[in-house]
Amino acid sequence: MNDLAVVGAGAWGTALAIQAARAGRNVTLWARDPANAAAMEQTRLNPRLPGIRLPGSIRVTAHLPATAAAILLAVPMQHLRGIAERLPPNDAPLVACAKGVEAGTLRLPLEVLAEIRPGNPSAILTGPNFAHEVAEGLPAAATLAGPDAAVRDRIVALLATPSFRLYGNDDAIGAQIGGAAKNVIAIAAGAVIGAGLGENARAALITRSLAELSRLAIALGGRAETVMGLSGLGDLLLTCTGPSSRNFSLGLALGRGEKLADILAARETVTEGVATAPALVARAAGVDMPICIAVATLLAGRTTLAQAMADLLARPRRDE
C-alpha cells in the first residue's frame, strides 16, 4: 500500500498532503469539521493556503483514516493525545508532525504516541519548514527521526521528492527537543526585535539558545549534534527570523507592548510556544535554561520584558 493519510487539515497538514500527492501518493486528508471537509473537497482550496489548489489525488474527509501506509498527525501538540486516542485500531506507522511538550504530563510527541498507541511504530517529522512554501513546492529539507531505521526509510520513500529532502535520524529525543524549544526561543527573538533591541541582540539570543537546547537534549538522552542540524539550528533560524512564524510574530507584538491575551484573542491559529514554554521549563528541571525560563516567566505575567532582559544580561560572566 502506497496511500498516505494526513490527520489535520490546517495549513501544515494540507501542505503535507500536497507534498505527498507530489510524491505520487493517494492521500486522505482529515478535517475535524465536516463542513470544512466538504468545502475543501468541493472547492479544492484551503483558506489557510490562499491560491493553492489541492491535487485530485487528495480526498478530504471528516472520517478518521482506518489504515494507510503511514498516518501523519499534523495537529497541535496539545491535541495530539486526543486525536491519537480516536484513531481506529491499526498498525500503520504514526508520524508526529507536532512540535512541543504536552502540558501536564510534560511528554514529548513520541512519548505521547508510545503511551496511547504502543503497537504502532512511530517517528517525528520536524525541521525548518513554513507550510505555504512546502505547499508551493519550493526547496525544503526536514528531519524524520525515530528509533527504527526501516520505518524511517519507508516514510522517507513515501514522502520525499527532489524539492523536499528528508534526512533520517535515530536521535528522536534531540529532534523533538529542537522542535519544541525553537518555538519558545522564537517568542524571545520576536520580543527583542519588537522592543527595538537590535539585530546584535537577536543574534546573541539565538546563539546562546543553542547552548540551552544542547544541554537539555543531552540531559534527556539525546545528542548535542542533533541540535546543530535541521531540527535544531535550522528550525531555530527560520522561526526566529521568518516573518511568517507565529511564535516570532507573537513575541514581536509583546515587544511592542501588546498584551498576551489580546494577541491570542486576535488569532485563529495556535501559537505552540505559549503552552510549550512552561511545560518545557518544567521538563528541564535542573538544566540551566535561562532564556526559556525568561520566556515562560514573561508569558505568565510574572516579569516585564525589560526586567527579563536585565536579568539575562546580569548573569555572571564566564567563558563561552
Is there a domain that residue 48 lies in?
yes
pLDDT tens readout for residues 185-220: 999 999 999 999 999 999 999 999 999 999 999 999
Do 204 and 130 have their domain in common? no
Q: pTM value?
A: 0.94
Is there a domain that residue 318 lies in?
no
pLDDT at residue number 243: 79
Is there a domain that residue 102 lies in?
yes
In the block, residue with C-alpha cell 522561526:
239
Sheet holding 4-7, edge to edge: 58-61, 27-30, 4-7, 70-73, 94-96, 122-126, 140-145, 164-169
Domain termination site, one of 170, 192, 226:
170
Is there a domain that residue 46 lies in?
yes
Q: How confident is the model at residue 310 (pLDDT cuts 50, 70, 90)?
A: confident
CATH of the domain at 293: 1.10.1040.10
pLDDT tens readout for residues 215-267: 999 999 999 999 999 999 999 999 999 778 999 999 999 999 999 999 999 99
Instruction: Find the DSSP H helices in the chain.
Output: 11-22, 34-43, 80-86, 109-116, 131-136, 149-159, 172-194, 199-219, 224-227, 235-241, 246-255, 260-265, 272-283, 290-299, 305-313
pLDDT at residue number 268: 86
Do 20 and 152 have their domain in common? yes
Domain termination site, one of 138, 155, 170:
170
Domain termination site, one of 125, 143, 170:
170
pLDDT tens readout for residues 148-178: 999 999 999 999 999 999 999 999 999 999 9
CATH of the domain at 145: 3.40.50.720
The secondary structure element, H or E, covering residue 4 is strand 4-7
Domain of 89?
4-170
Q: How far apart are CA 26 and CA 49, in angstroms?
A: 20
Do 163 and 181 have their domain in common? no
Q: Give the Cβ contact number of residue 253 at 10 Å.
A: 20
Please give the share of the chain, as a percent, with pLDDT higher than 70. Answer: 100
Catalytic annotation, pick one of 99, 182, 202, 283: 182
pLDDT at residue number 1: 63
Pairing of strands 70-73, 94-96: parallel
Q: Is 259 a catalytic residue?
A: no
